[in-house]
Each structure stands twice: as structure tokens, then as C-alpha cells.
Amino acid sequence: MSVFKVGKATITRIEETYQAVYPIRDIFPAFSDADLKEHGPWLAPNHYDPASGKIMLSVHSWLLQVDGRKILIDCCCGNHKPRPARPFWNMLNTPWLDRLAAAGARPDEIDMVMCTHLHHDHLGWNTQLRDGKWVPTFPNARYVFSKLDFDYFQKLDADPATGPAEFGTFRECVIPVVDAGRADLVTGPHRLNEFIEILPAGGHSPGHFVFKMNFGSSTAMITGDVFHHLLQIFYPDWNFPKNSDAEEARVSRRRVFEDCAAAGAMVFPGHVGAPFAGFIDKTAAGFRPRF
């Protein structure tokens, strides 16, 4: 379990999976032998598996504990969900809830669930199947969703040509929360409370958020999928393949990197490998990670 202190707040990583998933050149076609020579010493083993030629990706949640409040950020893929198009996340059976409890939070103790965006690998534990019905996993929590994302995926979900949006996750993990009256649909910028500011960072999805958190003199940034891999800090124009607007994703990435560097914020991404959190420094050539 990875636990980080940011001012008076504690932020704990709740792992679901951490494995080699995609061939690196499938994800980043511009990646060259020269890049491998330059970055290879730090890429392996936490961010790249040389034997398979695949990048390492983590799927995890962040548990924020501050002033007696317990806030969960992004809810992974979830168990027992058929995802044949993503074989490494298909029909998972992980002890994620046990890991959450070990970090200090049972489902009924979560005060708020915040989703950076509404992709399937950030929503899975929002709900659980009980008596044949998907119901909120965290019965006492308010769930914070992007209204732009909600509107976008609701429209996709209604189109027979696209099928169930996000492999059915929108129907399984978003609609039941809304129907239960547990959801707050917001747009950014939005001040959530005395610690958390919601900032728009669209492109990976239309309403993707980052969460900027100020705890006195210490700042944290929960960045979701603004970037998936540390290589993108060196090469901000490198997109992950799945985006609603590829150019907007690049603009958002650079803007978030600038903000993280200027604030000296500790950065908590959605999929980056060990040590999972760190800092982004501005350099004469651009940016570099200090993880």
C-alpha cells in the first residue's frame, strides 16, 4: 500500500491491477530505439516490461482522508464485469474492497466519490450487483460526475449504432447512482469545498476534470487520464489512443503540466506505475517527472 502525506491530508493508493498491457509502439507510435536508449534505465521495470515490449499500467483509486472526511477518487474497473475487448480487465475478481478497508475506509464510511471522467476503468466500483440490480457501493456518499461527460455518454448510450456506452459501464455504474439521487453533476471550474477545486481538462473525454487540492502550504493535483504514462511528461504531444478530441487533450496536458510545475504540486495520476505519485518540473526543454 502506498501512502502519501500532503500537508494535513493523507492520500492512499488503492490498487486494483498493475500489469504490462499494451505494446509500447502501439500506444506511442513515435517511440523510437533512441527513446528506448535514453529512457530505458528508468522505464524498466515499473513503467515498461522489456520482455514483452509492453508498457506497465496501474489501475487504482485514491483515498483522500482529511479533517475526518473520507473521499474516494476514481473507482477502477470493478469485479465480475465482462470486458472481452479489454482481456486484462475482463471478469476481474480482486480484493479491492479489502484493500480499501485496510486503508481505513469501509464503503459506508465514504463521504464522497469523485470521478475525473466517465470511462469504464474509473467507474467500476461505483456500483455493485445486488439481487440482480446495480446499486451504489457507497450508500452514504455523494458522487461527483462531470455534466459534460454525463451528457456525452448519455447521448452515445442512446445510439444503437454505438451500442452500450463504455462497454455498458454507463448503464451499470452511472445511471444507478443518478437514479438513486446520489449524484451531483457539475461543470468546471467549480469550488467543491475548502480544499478541492475542480478544473476542466477536456480532450481525453469531453468533461474530464483534474482536482486541485490545497492543504495550507501544500498542494496536490489528481490528474486522472490527462496523461497515462511518464513518457508523456517528456513528450506532451504524445496522446494515448482513446480521446474524444486529440488536440484538446494535448492542450489540456500542457496546461496541467504548467499548473503542476508552477504550484509545486504533488501529482497523483490515474495509471502511472511505481512509485505512483511525484512531481513535474519545468525545464528549458519542456517538462520532466520527478517521481
* pTM for this predicted structure: 0.96
Closest-CA residue to 288 (of 217, 236, 223, 250): 236
Instruction: Provide the pLDDT for residue 168.
Output: 92
pLDDT band at 163 (very low <50, low <70, confident <90, very high): confident
Mean pLDDT rounded to a whole number for the chain: 96
Is the pLDDT at 2 greater than 80? The verdict is yes
Where does the chain show beta strands of DSSP type E? 2-6, 9-23, 48-49, 54-66, 69-73, 112-114, 127-130, 133-136, 142-146, 183-186, 190-191, 196-200, 209-215, 218-224, 266-269, 279-282, 287-290
pLDDT band at 84 (very low <50, low <70, confident <90, very high): confident
In the chain, pLDDT over 90 holds for what percent of residues?
Answer: 92
Instruction: Provide the pLDDT for residue 35.
Output: 97
Tell me the CATH number at 246: 3.60.15.10
Counting the structural domains of the chain, the total is: 1
Helix (H, G, I), strand (E, B) or coil at 105: coil
Is the pLDDT at 160 greater than 80? The verdict is no
pLDDT band at 162 (very low <50, low <70, confident <90, very high): confident
Q: Which value, in Å, is the radius of gyration of the alpha carbons in the chain?
A: 18
pLDDT band at 226 (very low <50, low <70, confident <90, very high): very high
Containing domain of residue 129, as a range? 2-290
246-271 tens-digit pLDDT: 999 999 999 999 999 999 999 999 99
Instruction: Provide the pLDDT for residue 176.
Output: 97
